[in-house]
Amino acid sequence: MALSRKIAYINLTTGEIRTETISKELRKQYIGGRGLDIYLLYRNTEKGVDPLGPGNAAIVSAGLLTGTLASASARTHVAAKSPLTGYVGSANIGGFFGPEMRLAGFDHLVITGKAEKPVYLYLTNDSIEIRPAEHLWGTDTRTVQQMIVDELGDDDVKTLCIGRAGENLVKYACIRTSIKNSAGRTGIGAVWGSKNLKAVAAKGTLDIKLHDPLMALEYNRKIIDQVTSAKVSKTMQKLGTPFIWGVTNSTGLVRTRNFQSNQLSDADDIEPESIEEDIVGTAGCFGCQVHCRGKYVIREGKYKGIYDEGPEYTSLGAFGAEVGCRSKTTVLTGNHLVNYYGLDNLETGSMMAWAMELFEKGILTREDTGGMDLTWGNDEAVIELIHKIANREGIGDILADAPLEAARRIGKDSLRYLVHVKGMSNLHSDERPTPALALNVAVSSRGSDHLRGRPAIDLYHLPEPFLRKVYSNPIPYDGPLTSDYRDYEGKPWQVLWQEHCYEAVDCLGICKYHTVFLGPNMPCFQEWPELIRVNTGLSFTPEEIWEVAERGYTLERLFNIREGLTRSEDTLSDRYFDEPVPEGLPVVRGRCIDREKFRLMLDEYYRLRGWDENGVPTPEKLKELGLDTI
C-alpha cells in the first residue's frame, strides 16, 4: 500500500539511521505531507534551537497521495526551523522527486546532526546510504543532479539538492530539483548547507499499491477534466503563472521600485504575452495536465543560448517591477541565475529592491556597494547582485543575510524601507488596496507569504452568493462576505478558509493549482474524500479533512509561539498603513490599509480560529484538536 512507506531518522553526526512505520492513527490526525512535517519538526527540535546548528531537523515529506493516481500528485514538502525568521521553515516543491522517494520506500526523512564532510543521501528500495559529496560541493543545482545520475549510473535517479547559495549559508537559499522546481521560501537550503548535506537522491522500484486501481483511474480522469476545463488552467497551460501579471499590474497591484509605487507602466517587454514569444513548449510535473512550466532559451545578452524553465509570476516581480527593470532578458536571466545558485527568487528580488531604495536614499553609497550603481532599472547591476549574493561577495554578503540581520548590519534608517513580515520579505504583489490579501500576508505561519492563505479569488469580483457557496464548504459560514476586494468585511474567514484549503493540499501532496487558488470551481474538500479512498482505502469526511488542516495549522502556530512569536508580529510593515498607493486604476489609487480596521480583522481572525486576543490557541481549542498533550 501507499500507506506502508516509512519515516527515516538520519543522524549525520553519528551516521545512525533508523526507520519507523506510520500508524493509521497518525494518518488520521495529520494525513501526511506538511501535516506530518510540522508534527515531526515540533517533536524533533528543542525550543530555541539554532537554525544552522546540528540540533535543527531538516525534514523531507511526501504527501499522502504523492505518486498515486491523484492528479498532480507530484509534491514534496520540506521543513526545518527557518534561519530567515526563526519560526516555522516550510516549503513545497513539485517535479518528480516525491513520487521517486515513495517508490524507494520512504514518506518522511528527518535529518539531524552535521556531517563532518559534505555528503549526500541515496535512497533506494528501503535502504539509505550516506555517500561522500566533497566532489559535488561547489557545483550548481543542475550540474550536481547530472553528476549524481552519472555516478550512480542510473538516468532515473531524482535528486533534491542545494546550490552554492545553500553551501554559503545564504539565509534564503532554497532546495531544488529538476531544472526549475524549487522549495523556495524560508531558507531551508541554508539548513542543508549547515549540515554539509548537498543532496538527497532517490530511485525506487517498489510498487505503490492502490486501494481500488480502476476506480482511482476513473476518478483521476474526472478530476483532471474538472481542473483542465477551468479557464484559468487553459491560461496557465499557455502563459504559466506570469498570466497573473496582466490583471494585477493593469489594476495597480504590483509592488514597484521596492514599495514606492504599485504599478510598472510601459513594461510591455516583460508582460507574460511577450515572454510567451520566447517559450518553446511547456513542461509538467509528475502526472499533471496543467503543465504550467514554460521552457525557454535566453535569446540575448551574456547568457544567450542557455536553456531554463519558468519564469514564474514571482520572477516578473523580482527581476522586473521591484527593481524597476523592464527587460525580458533580465527577467529570464535572473530567473536562470537563482535556479543555478539555488536562491529563493522572491527574497532575492525583494532584498535587491530594498538595497536599491537604500541607495536612492543615500543610506547605501557606492562605497558600500563596491562601486556598483544601484539605481532603479539598472539591468546589469541586478544580474551582478545575484552573483554577489549567492557567493556572499561585497555588499552581497550583507544582502545574503536575513532581512532583519541585514538591516542591523546596515543600520541608519534602513529598517524603515524594509517590506517584511516576521523577518521574511513580501511578495511583489502590493496588498495595500486589498485587505484580505494583506491579512493573509500578516498572519501566515511562515512569515510573509501568499501560498499559505491567499484568497486570490477575492480579486475576481465574484457574486456574494457564489462566494458564500465556496467559503461554506465544508463548514457553514453565515458571517459577512463581499465581492469588493477593497472591503474589510468577511475577509478573516476567507483567509482562514484558504489557509485550511492550502494546508490540506500540502498534506495530500497535490499542487495548489488543482484546488481553489486561482479557480473557484476546482476540486476541494468535497472531492478529496473519494480521492483519498480510491487511492489509499482511508476514509475521511470533508469535515475531518478540515480538522486535520486546522490541527496542522495550529501546530505551526504552537511551534512559532514556542520560538517566541507574539501578536505584535502578526502585522505589516508601517508603509502598508502610512503610504497610500500612488498609481493604478481609481479603484485602488490612494488606498492603503487602515490601522484600526486591520486590528479588527486580526481580532476577528483570532476569534474564528479559537485563539485568544494575543493569538495564542485557547486550551479548549487545543483539547478539541488533541494538541493539548503534544
Partner 1 sequence: MSESGSNGVKDRTTGQFRCLYCFTRVKPPRGAETFTCENCGYAWRIWWFSPTEPRIRGPVWDQHEKLSREKMKKQGD
Partner 2 sequence: MEKVLVIDPEICTGCRICEQVCSVVNENVVNPYRARIKVMRWETQGVVVPMACQQCDTPMCREVCPVNALEKNPDTGVVTVNYDRCIGCRMCVAACPFGLMMYDFVDKKVIKCEQCQGDPQCVRFCDAGALRFEDKQKNGSAARKKQGKKLKAALSGRDQP
Residues of the shown chain interacting with partner 1 in the complex, contacts defined by CB under 8 A: 226, 228-232, 234-235, 238, 246-247, 249-251, 265-266, 268, 271, 273, 460-463, 466, 519-521, 583-587, 589-590
Which of the ranges 5-13, 83-91, 221-229, 398-406 carries the binding residues for partner 2, by CB under 8 A? 221-229
Give 358 or 470: the residue with its C-beta nearer to partner 1.
Answer: 470
The dihedral region occupied by 240, where left means phi > 0, alpha psi between -120 and 50, and beta the remainder, is: left
Q: Is 181 in the site for partner 2 (CB under 8 A)?
A: no
Among partner 1, partner 2, none, the one that 19 touches (CB under a kind-dependent 5 to 8 A) is: none
Alpha carbon distances (Å) from 463 to 156, 484, 520: 48, 9, 12
Give 217 or 585: the residue with its C-beta nearer to partner 2.
Answer: 217
- Contact set for partner 2, span 154-173 (CB under 8 A): 155-156
Residue of the chain from 147, 210, 316, 323 that contacts partner 2 (CB under 8 A): 210
Residue 117 burial (C-beta neighbours within 10 Å; 0-12, 13-18, 19+)? exposed
Cα within 13 Å of Cα(456), Cβ side: 21
Cβ–Cβ < 8 Å for 79, 217: no
CB of residue 265 to partner 1, shortest distance in Å: 5
- Rounded to whole angstroms, how far apart are CA atoms 90 and 87? 9
> Does the bond joining 311 to the residue before it have cis omega, within 30 degrees of 0?
yes
Q: Is 178 in the site for partner 2 (CB under 8 A)?
A: yes
In the chain, the N- to C-terminal Cα span, in Å, equals 28
Q: The C-alpha cell of 466 is what?
A: 457564489
Dihedral angle at the C-alpha atoms of 13, 390, 95, 531, nearest 10 degrees?
Answer: 80
Cα of 455 vs its chain's centroid, Å: 15
Among partner 1, partner 2, none, the one that 16 touches (CB under a kind-dependent 5 to 8 A) is: none
Dihedral angle at the C-alpha atoms of 27, 28, 31, 34, nearest 10 degrees?
Answer: -100
Among partner 1, partner 2, none, the one that 462 touches (CB under a kind-dependent 5 to 8 A) is: partner 1
Among partner 2, partner 1, none, the one that 281 touches (CB under a kind-dependent 5 to 8 A) is: partner 2
CB of residue 526 to partner 1, shortest distance in Å: 13
> Does the bond joining 586 to the residue before it have cis omega, within 30 degrees of 0?
no
Among partner 2, partner 1, none, the one that 206 touches (CB under a kind-dependent 5 to 8 A) is: partner 2
- Contact set for partner 2, span 40-79 (CB under 8 A): 67-69
CB of residue 100 to partner 2, shortest distance in Å: 9
CB of residue 213 to partner 2, shortest distance in Å: 5
Among partner 2, partner 1, none, the one that 283 touches (CB under a kind-dependent 5 to 8 A) is: partner 2
Give 229 or 614: the residue with its C-beta nearer to partner 2.
Answer: 229
Q: Would you say how long the chain is, in residues?
A: 630
Q: Is 218 in the site for partner 2 (CB under 8 A)?
A: no
Q: Is 97 in the site for partner 2 (CB under 8 A)?
A: no
Among partner 2, partner 1, none, the one that 262 touches (CB under a kind-dependent 5 to 8 A) is: none
- Contact set for partner 2, span 280-309 (CB under 8 A): 280-289, 291, 295, 307, 309
Nearest CA-CA partner of 75 in 86, 84, 83, 65: 65
Cβ atoms within 10 Å, residue 179: 18
CB of residue 582 to partner 1, shortest distance in Å: 11
Give 268 or 413: the residue with its C-beta nearer to partner 1.
Answer: 268
Alpha carbon distances (Å) from 338 to 81, 111, 120, 172, 555: 22, 25, 22, 11, 32
Give 69 or 532: the residue with its C-beta nearer to partner 2.
Answer: 69
> Which residues contact residue 213 at a Cβ distance below 8 angstroms, ignoring those fewer than 6 apart?
69
The dihedral region occupied by 297, where left means phi > 0, alpha psi between -120 and 50, and beta the remainder, is: beta
CB of residue 36 to partner 2, shortest distance in Å: 20
Q: Is 220 in the site for partner 2 (CB under 8 A)?
A: yes
Binding site for partner 2 (CB under 8 A): 67-69, 96, 99, 103, 142, 145-146, 155-156, 178-179, 205-210, 213, 216-217, 220-221, 224, 228, 280-289, 291, 295, 307, 309
